[in-house]
Amino acid sequence: MFRIFIAMGLVFLCSSPLPAEKPDKLTRVADYLAVFDLEVVGSIDPTLARPLTESIRGEVIRSGKFRVMERGQMDKILQEQAFQMTGCVTKECMVEAGQLLGVGKIVIGTLGLVGRTYHLSLSQVNVETGETERMAIQTCRCEPDELIGTAVAAARQLLGDLTAAPPPQPLPKPTSSTPIPTYRDPLTGMEFVLIKGGCFQMGDTFGDGHENERPVHEVCLSDFYLGRYEVTVGQFRKFVEETGYLTEAEKGEGSFRFTGKEWKMSRDLNWRNPGFPQSEHHPVVCISWNDASAFCRWLSQRSGRSFRLPTEAEWEYAARSGGKGYKYSWGNGPPSGNIADEALEREFPQYPYPIWGGHDDGYAFTSPVGSFQPNQLGLYDMTGNVWE
């Protein structure tokens, strides 16, 4: 029987967002844009709207073509104006909301399902004239967790970025003579990728790490399976609801909160309330190693298979796309992940630690799992997002 390993974060970011101001209360700025939640129609899971919308927002931010209003800022202004977004699905209603926000353009969209094929359409609308300026349509005959790539592709099409890299493609179907490259747990829907074993140089191969990452030494590993995505809030919630489990943070220990200048322990923070907005598709945070291990034991008992946390060597080997000499999971070049960058510094102007200057991933806190490109093994968020 093969063994299945699950990558879960063990130390987590827990902070509270700061309020933002409306761009200009009297004049709409032409290059200021708001992205509204996708309208999900038919039998599609409505909780897909939020992570797909955040992926679109992040792609618009990364393009640098517009100043994009953050979700919290939008919610705050519309609440102050007593504007109800529930049921606001027509272009005319969205334009009215855009006028209240004081933006020049809005992005709206719809996700539908015809047979087994998803259809995602986006429109860029001029708030002043109410005219649709650009449209983008993408289709995907795929699993729901592969729609992140479809949303990113649609956003790039809308922005006119026809040369951008295509969204990640699913792994090829196995033949009877090849090992199964993926395994999907029927209980949680979690997907696991087969990592072919091998030998690699483990540790600080670049010479700029910590002492406990030295000396560099060779490690050889057998084949193993690893979760394609970080464990989500929704998946962890299923475990808690079935077992009544209380995390160590919920038992009174709390978790750390970043105040903008330093980390402080806060007893009211836990995976349900990390101090910032999250959806069922965000990675679960504010849990300990013991909490993560309990999740693995539950999954093992329910599935009849063997689940556990990966070892340090297994995780590093997988993060480096099979032990390749990369500094980051995306390689040695510009970042492709949710990291400490200008988006974080914008949220915390007095952030005391180094950031990746010149990069803005659009997320001051966590991003929905799979929002960025995977590494060469098809694993997401191996660098960035939740701190393992």
pLDDT tens for the chain, residues 1 to 388: 333 454 443 333 333 333 333 444 333 456 789 999 999 988 888 888 888 998 898 888 878 788 888 887 888 888 888 888 888 888 999 999 989 888 889 999 999 988 888 999 999 999 989 999 999 999 888 888 778 888 888 998 888 853 343 444 443 443 444 444 888 888 888 999 999 999 989 987 877 778 888 888 899 999 999 999 999 999 999 999 999 999 999 998 788 888 888 888 888 899 999 988 888 999 999 999 999 999 999 999 998 889 999 999 999 999 998 888 777 777 777 777 777 767 777 877 887 777 777 777 788 788 889 888 888 899 999 888 887 6
Last residue of a domain, one of 100, 123, 158: 158
Residue 49 lies in a domain: yes
Q: Structural domain of residue 45, as residue ranges?
A: 29-158
Say whether both 141 and 259 belong to one domain: no
Q: Is there a single domain that holds both residue 223 and residue 297?
A: yes
Helix, strand, coil tally for the chain in percent (to 5): 25, 20, 50
Exposure b/e, 33-63, CB count within 10 A at least 16 = b: bbbbbbbbeeebeeebbbbbbbbbbbbbbbb
pLDDT of amino acid 166: 41
Q: Is there a domain that residue 170 lies in?
A: no
User: Are 205 and 289 in a shared domain?
Assistant: yes
DSSP state, residue 19: P
| CATH code, 111 | 3.40.50.10610
Measured distance CA(95)–CA(104) in Å, rounded: 10
- Shared domain for 116 and 260, answered yes or no, is no
One domain, residues 342 and 254: yes
138 & 208 share domain:
no
pLDDT tens digit sequence for 91-107: 999 999 989 888 889 99
In a domain, 176, yes or no: no
Do residue 222 and residue 331 come from a single domain? yes
Tally of domains within the chain: 2
Tell me if 374 is assigned to some domain.
Answer: no
Question: How far is it, in rounded angstroms, from Cα 242 to Cα 187?
Answer: 12
Asked, for residue 78, whether it belongs to a domain, the answer is yes
Domain check: are 306 and 339 in the same one?
yes
Distance between CA atoms of residues 88 and 93, nearest Å: 6
| Same domain for 317 and 204 | yes
Q: Is residue 304 part of a domain?
A: yes
Is residue 386, in this structure, part of any structural domain at all? no
Sign of the CA dihedral with 247 first, then 252, 258, and 262 last: negative
Are 82 and 206 contained in the same domain? no
The answer to whether position 108 is within a domain reads: yes
What pTM was computed for the model? Answer: 0.57
Rounded to an integer, what is the distance from CA 114 to the centroid of its chain? 26
Report the CATH number that the domain containing residue 214 is assigned in CATH.
3.90.1580.10
206/326 same-domain check: yes
Give 6's DSSP letter: -
Angstrom distance (rounded) from CA 351 to CA 340: 10
Question: What is the per-residue pLDDT across 144-203, written as a single tens digit (0 to 9) for each?
Answer: 877 888 888 899 888 885 334 344 444 344 344 444 488 888 888 899 999 999 998 998
Residues 33 and 140 in one domain: yes
Give me the percent of the chain exceeding a pLDDT of 90. 31
The tokens describing 116, both together, are 């087994």
